[in-house]
């Protein structure tokens, strides 16, 4: 069965970076895009962007350009998202999901907390 | 950017009720509208895609309709396990979520 297993919770200091992972299994990794979504209590769900897992091509929400960097490692069927120059506003749960507009499979989410 | 407005923000209903949730786009989204259900502590779960297509494994009491800028999710007979927050999501032009409707039992 399709599974997306995300890495564990992160506690980071303001100004630092974190890199979270999303390991796919149960399907051909390079056949589907991976999307990333941010969820906060205040802002709800925000679409960060997606990556073409075959070519590595990316497309970002303007709001997250310069904040998020999406990459993949095809050898391990893993997608990554690096968040840089962290501020408290980046504290959220981050999800990966398979596909672009059609996302039936999601990871369990990673809680990122930014605090000094 | 396309804005998605969901109404109501909170809905209280009784078991067995027919429930209707609404989602309005700021411009025509050509039926590229999905509905998700999210329970506390879980990832969103896809219920309906492209307005009226029931995702595999989702009970038939869930249905979707709409066109242009106005879309609806209907639960024909509310069950206790349907208590959740429901989000609409457009993928016609970039991708945008609505703010959600919290569905409670009366």
Higher pLDDT, B94 or B31: B31
Q: Strand, coil or helix: what is A88?
A: helix
Q: Is a pLDDT exceeding 90 seen at residue B77?
A: yes
Average pLDDT over residues A47-67: 97
The pLDDT assigned to B13 comes to 98
A5 has a chain B CB within 8 A of its CB: no
Q: How many CB atoms lie within 10 A of CB B33?
A: 30
Q: Are the Cβ atoms of B46 and A103 closer than 8 angstroms? A: yes
Q: Mean pLDDT over residues B32-42, rounded? A: 96
**pLDDT higher than threshold 90 for residue B31:** yes
- For tokens 């672009």, name the residue: A100
Does residue A41 have a pLDDT over 90?
no
SS3 content of chain B, % helix, strand, coil (to 5): 5, 50, 45
* CB count in 10 Å sphere of residue B42: 12
B5 has a chain A CB within 8 A of its CB: no
Chain A nearest CA to B21, separation (Å): 17
The predicted structure's pLDDT at residue B94:
87
First to last CA, chain B: 36
Of B49, B50, B95, the CB nearest to A47: B95
How does residue A16 score in pLDDT terms, banded at 50, 70 and 90? Answer: very high
pLDDT at position A38 is: 98
- Residue A81 pLDDT > 90, yes or no? yes
pLDDT at A42 over 90: no
Query: Between the CA of residue B73 and those of A39, B6, B17, B39, B82, what are the distances in Å?
Result: 22, 11, 14, 17, 13
**Closest residue to B43, CB basis, from A47, A61, A106:** A106
Give pLDDT, residue A43: 78
* Local structure of B73: helix, strand or coil: strand
Q: Does A42 touch chain B (CB under 8 A)?
A: no
Within an 8 Å CB–CB cutoff, is residue B62 touching chain A? no
């Amino acid at each position: 069965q399709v599974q997306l297993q995300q890495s564990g919770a992160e506690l980071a200091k303001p100004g630092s970076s974190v890199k979270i992972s999303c390991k796919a299994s149960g399907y051909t990794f390079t056949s589907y895009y991976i999307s990333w979504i941010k969820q906060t209590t205040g802002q709800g769900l925000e679409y960060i962007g997606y990556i073409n897992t075959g070519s590595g091509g990316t497309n970002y929400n303007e709001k997250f350009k310069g904040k998020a960097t999406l990459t993949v490692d095809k050898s391990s069927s893993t997608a990554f998202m690096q968040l840089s120059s962290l501020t408290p506003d980046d504290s959220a749960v981050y999800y990966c999901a398979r596909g672009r507009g059609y996302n039936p499979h999601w990871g369990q989410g990673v809680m990122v907390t930014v605090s000094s | 950017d396309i804005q998605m407005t969901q109404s109501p923000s909170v809905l209280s209903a009784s078991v067995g009720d027919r429930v209707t949730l609404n989602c309005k786009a700021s411009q025509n989204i050509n039926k590229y509208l999905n509905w998700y259900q999210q329970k506390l502590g879980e990832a969103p779960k896809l219920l309906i895609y492209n307005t009226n297509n029931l995702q595999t494994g989702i009970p038939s009491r869930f249905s979707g309709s709409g066109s242009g800028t106005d879309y609806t999710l209907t639960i024909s007979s509310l069950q206790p396990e349907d208590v959740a927050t429901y989000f609409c999501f457009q993928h016609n032009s970039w991708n945008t979520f609505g703010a959600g409707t919290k569905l409670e039992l009366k």
